[in-house]
Amino acid sequence: MEKKKEKLNQSFYIENYGCQMNIADSEIVTSILCKDGFFLSENLEKANIILFNSCSIREKAELTLKKRLEQLQFIKKKKKTLFGVIGCLSKKVKDLLLKEKKIDFFVNPNSYKEISNFIRHAMIGQKYFSFSYQKNETYADISPFLKKNKITTFLSITRGCDNMCTFCIVPFTRGRERSSNPYYIIDECQRLYQNGYKEITLLGQNVDSYRWTQGLISIDFSELLNLLAIEIPLMRIRFSTSNPHDMSDKVLKVIHKHSNICKHIHLPVQSGSNKILKLMNRKYTREKYLSLVNKIRSIIPECSISHDIMTGFCNEEEKDHKDTIDLMNKIQYNYGYMFSYSPRPGTYAYRKFKDNVPQDVKKKRLKEIIDLQKKHSSFRMKEYLGKVQEVLIEGESKKNHRYWYGRNTQNLVVVFPKESYKIGGIASVKITDATSATLIGKIYKDVKK
């Protein structure tokens, strides 16, 4: 292996686009490449290979990637740097980028173990066709690359998705859903904890459908959470994304039972209209969703809830939009991510429905829900005034280096004057002020722990 390293002497740099899953995948790819004799560079302009971990879920992410590739072509020409795209990309865009020689190779999320072969072939100007496209790849035998001084990280527990929401490209780019071996997940979390990590976010497009079966043993998501919480009691555990259709009472009870499982649920709703939910193939109704939110709040009263909402999906009328506004008012989420619909080539909606909501209407509706969410976020943040919060310190506040930056169990950002503590420590902080996005506090002297 050492010999290989000396021989190659090729450095790579990775840029991430899109979701948390891409950040986790970049750490897997970094591990694979380091094992194969490449080394990670912190400097984009000095690297021999630049990898762009792309996302095609929304058109905007794809446009950002294209712009970035254009912007960096000067490096490619000047230094003969290789450009490779990894991650999710619609076939159309991938073919175009390769044809126009904007990139030298593309590696899909199921072929990362072969990435060195893609690079080696690209170095001599040849195309490489992966022969080991692994439909069931989970990368359970690869440990994510450990970064120095990092406190929080992500770990994929499921890959792919079987839900086939009509707007979504993920099932096409990432394949069928499969779950990682729970023993690998536990070992990996333990290794991360031993290496200084204090918080892990378990990732999956739908963590609630996690299920691993071998012989007579079958472990579901609630059991996995329970095992992790017991095995690594000092590690904070988060997870994303929860699916309203699959979230069980068992999971809620486990979250409630363990103090190291964070009290936050990301529960994308997409729309408050039953007509639109049906067109999206979302398999729940607004009534079911609202009753799930009530159940979450009765089992875990301190739980924060966030959402994804998409405006302007095919056939969305003003009354459907009003239903979304009404649902938001009923729930008053802590925060959320809001998007306007963009058709994705290959999806059911792209093939069968008309993208018939005009751009200006989509924009207007999006602004309306963003403004409303801001109002709700401010209201929810004010609920913390005067309360003492346990904050995991992740670093210095970007706005003021004399303040620490961290998050409470509800995943809300808290900043407070440094005084003492260090990165990775847990501070008791009394909240004295709040904006719609940040809680501001001071260290609570009277620590009762």
CB nearer ligand F3S, residue 267 or residue 429 = 267
Q: How far is CA 197 from the centre of its chain?
A: 18
| Closer residue to ligand SAH (CB): 233 or 358 | 358
Dihedral sign from CA coordinates of 161, 165, 168, 172:
positive
Q: Token pair for residue 200?
A: 């892990």
Among 18, 84, 87, 171, binds ligand F3S (CB under 6 A): 171
What does the alpha-carbon distance between residue 31 and residue 15 come to, in Å, rounded to a whole number? 15
Q: Tell me whether residue 19 or residue 224 sits nearer to ligand F3S (CB atom).
A: 19
| Burial category of 412 from C-beta neighbours within 10 Å (exposed 0-12, middle 13-18, buried 19 and up) | buried
In the complex, the smallest distance separating the C-beta of residue 241 from ligand F3S, rounded to whole angstroms, is: 8
Using the contact rule CB under 6 A, the part of the chain among 160-168, 181-189, 284-292, 420-428 near ligand F3S is 160-168
Cα gap 105→127, rounded to integer Å: 7
Q: Is 310 in the site for ligand SAH (CB under 6 A)?
A: yes
Binding-residue pattern over the window 235 to 274 for ligand F3S, x denoting contact by CB under 6 A: --------x-------------------------------
List own/partner pairs for 252-258 with CB under 8 A and 24 or more apart.
Answer: 252/295, 252/296, 252/299, 252/300, 253/222, 253/299, 254/222, 254/225, 254/226, 254/229, 255/225, 255/299, 255/300, 255/303, 256/299, 256/300, 257/226, 257/229, 258/225, 258/226, 258/229, 258/230
Binding of residue 122 to ligand F3S (CB under 6 A) = no
Give the nearer residue to ligand F3S in terms of CB position, either 171 or 182. Answer: 171
- Residue nearer to ligand SAH on the CB measure, 208 or 220: 208
Strands 199-203 and 152-156: parallel
Residue 339, contacted partner among ligand SAH, ligand F3S, none, CB below 5-8 A by kind: ligand SAH
Does position 197 interact with ligand SAH (CB under 6 A)? The reply is no
Residue 341's binding partner among ligand SAH, ligand F3S, none (Cβ under 5 to 8 angstroms by kind) is ligand SAH
259 Rama class: left (phi>0) / alpha (psi -120 to 50) / beta = alpha
Decide: 223 and 207 in contact? Cβ < 8 Å: no
Q: Which residues contact 356 (CB under 8 A, 6 or more apart)?
A: 314, 315
Stretch that binds ligand SAH, among 173-181, 252-260, 335-343, 356-364 (CB under 6 A): 335-343
**Identity of the residue, 197 or 341, whose beta carbon is nearer to ligand SAH in the bound complex:** 341
Question: Number of C-alpha atoms within 13 angstroms, CB side, residue 217?
Answer: 8
Q: Are 32 and 38 in contact (CB under 8 A)?
A: no
Binder of residue 344, out of ligand SAH, ligand F3S, none (CB less than 5 to 8 A by kind): ligand SAH
**Residue 429 interacting entry, from ligand F3S, ligand SAH, none, C-beta within 5 to 8 Å by type:** none
Q: Which two tokens stand for residue 275?
A: 């007509």
175 binds ligand F3S (CB under 6 A): no
206: amino acid identity, one letter: N
From 7-15, 109-117, 152-160, 337-345, give the range in contact with ligand SAH by CB under 6 A. 337-345
- To the nearest 10 degrees (0 to 180), the angle between helices 221-231 and 182-194 is 30
Q: Which of 267, 368, 367, 283 has the alpha carbon at shortest distance from 326? A: 368
Select 30 or 206, whichever has its Cβ closest to ligand F3S.
206
Residue by residue, DSSP assigns 335-394 as: EEEEEE----TTSHHHHHS---S-HHHHHHHHHHHHHHHHHHHHHHHHTTTT-EEEEEEE
The amino acid at residue 172 is F
Contacting ligand SAH within 211-270 (CB under 6 A): 241, 243, 268, 270
Q: Which is nearer to ligand F3S, 81 or 205 (CB)?
A: 205
Q: Which of 13, 118, 184, 339 binds ligand SAH (CB under 6 A)?
A: 339
Span of 181-189, 290-298, 336-344, 426-434 interacting with ligand SAH by CB under 6 A: 336-344
Residue 125, classed as helix, strand or coil, is: coil
From the list ligand SAH, ligand F3S, none, partner contacted by residue 447 (C-beta under 5 to 8 A by kind): none
Rounded to the nearest 10 degrees, the angle between the axes of helix 286-299 and helix 318-331 is 10
Per rule CB under 6 A, is residue 20 in the interface with ligand F3S?
A: no
312 touches which of ligand SAH, ligand F3S, none (CB within 5 to 8 A by kind)? none
| Contact range with ligand F3S by CB under 6 A, out of 118-126, 164-172, 256-264, 286-294 | 164-172
341 binds ligand SAH (CB under 6 A): yes
Is residue 205 part of the contact set for ligand F3S (CB under 6 A)? yes
Site for ligand F3S (CB under 6 A): which residue of 55, 170, 276, 431?
170
State the Cα–Cα distance between residues 127 and 118, nearest whole angstrom. Answer: 8
Interaction site with ligand F3S (CB under 6 A) = 161, 163-165, 168, 170-171, 205-206, 243
Interaction site with ligand SAH (CB under 6 A) = 57-58, 167-168, 205-206, 241, 243, 268, 270, 308, 310, 339, 341-342, 344
